[in-house]
Amino acid sequence: MNDMIPAWIDDVLTPVEKLEVHIKGLKHKAVSVFVMRGQKVLIQKRASVKYHTPGLWANTCCTHPLWDEAPLDCANRRLNDELGITGLSPVHRDRIEYRADVGNDLIEHEVVDIFVADAPADLGITMNPDEVEDIAWVDLGELTENARKTPEVYTPWLRIYLAEHMDRIFAELARA
């Protein structure tokens, strides 16, 4: 069931092949993580080999959970799989549903558990070239502005998170 992800068909959670989910635009489970260092967020440029949104900048990592995988376990697994990051303590911030065209006649319709994790200054990062082409630490305010000015270089979901859900994801930063 490696390429099977939890998707809803007739309101029943069902394992469905990942590409089929995106072709049909089925609502499915997802996890997104933002790793922060103060006001800076770690973003990644998706590898050019990805079947959708290759070469676009996204949040630290995002994925679909395995069939019986808890969202927090999924967040930690993908931090390690994509960026070699271990030892963080992601905090669940919210669950967000969105639908977006991701190009090539593919649709993301996700119910996403959003996590934020604080990173130490000496955070070790080892990029998986099958997943990540580049990384950058960017001021959250600058990222939000840049995503508005040049949306074509950012994934649809990152643009949605920044434009519509900042307060739900980053409220704790405003109090810091």
List, by residue number, the catalytic residues.
62, 110
As a whole number of Å, the end-to-end CA separation of the chain is 42
CA distance 6 to 80: 21
CA distance 165 to 66: 25
Residues in Cβ contact with 154 at an 8 Å cutoff, skipping those fewer than 6 apart: 56, 57, 58, 146, 147
- CB 90, CB 116: distance < 8 Å: yes
